[in-house]
Amino acid sequence: AQSVTQLDSQVPVFEEAPVELRCNYSSSVSVYLFWYVQYPNQGLQLLLKYLSGSTLVKGINGFEAEFNKSQTSFHLRKPSVHISDTAEYFCAVSESTGFQKLVFGTGTRLLVSP
Amino acid sequence: DSGVTQTPKHLITATGQRVTLRCSPRSGDLSVYWYQQSLDQGLQFLIQYYNGEERAKGNILERFSAQQFPDLHSELNLSSLELGDSALYFCASSVQQGTEAFFGQGTRLTVV
């Protein structure tokens, strides 16, 4: 079974500052990793995914994440945030074989202020 | 717009009642997943269907059931509703197992 830990429930940051949202996972098998974003009253939108290959993954809206197998981490970063990035961010993991249900972390609320 | 359509967007019903949530996957997607998002449980996987067949079950209560029809749309049936069933229910679809899942906007269920 897999599990995901998002260490920060809320991250406040000023506009144009860099941000890192942390995600650690646990799994006994090979996994795929994802970051989703949820804006208020919206569904989940995929930001980026790691399936294989380069450990640095670039996604939409200027976000990127780095897969670190030894530390079982998949932290999300953005060099300069905007007010519009205020949202809930979810890290998720799925087995790379089998039925690939997503196991989500508890989410991190990113609050960007002017 | 993800291409996944869920209806209704909002549903208010009384305890003990039964409701049906509907999901139309993206065109061509064979796999449908149902998730529940609540304040205390977070995002929980409920059940997955692939081309009409149940493929995986998560933390789905016995009062809940789902099916995927030949046209690939799916329905989640919730019965004997309790206050604790109030949550946002998401449907997601993917082309096949192991590929990117696209989420609908969700159905917000309120049980009063």
pLDDT of residue B59: 84
Interface residues of chain A, partner chain B, Cβ below 8 Å: 32, 36, 42-46, 49, 90, 94, 96-107
Contact of B102 with chain A, judged by CB distance below 8 Å, is answered with: yes
> What percent of chain B has pLDDT above 90?
84
Q: What is the pLDDT of residues A68-109, one digit of tens each?
A: 999 999 999 999 999 999 999 999 998 887 667 889 999 999
B59-97: pLDDT as tens digits: 899 999 999 999 999 999 999 999 999 999 999 998 876
pLDDT value at position B85?
Answer: 96
Rounded mean pLDDT of chain A? 93
pLDDT at A98: 63
What pLDDT is attached to residue A99? 61
Confidence check: pLDDT of B2 > 90: no
Q: Is A25 in contact with A74 (CB distance < 8 Å)?
A: yes
Query: What are the b/e assignments for B30-54, b being 16+ CB within 10 Å?
Result: bbbbbbbbeeeebbbbbbbbbeeee
pLDDT at residue B97 in the model: 61
Q: Which chain B residues are within 8 Å of A90, Cβ to Cβ?
A: 43
Model confidence pLDDT, tens digit, residues A19-46: 999 999 999 888 899 999 999 888 899 9
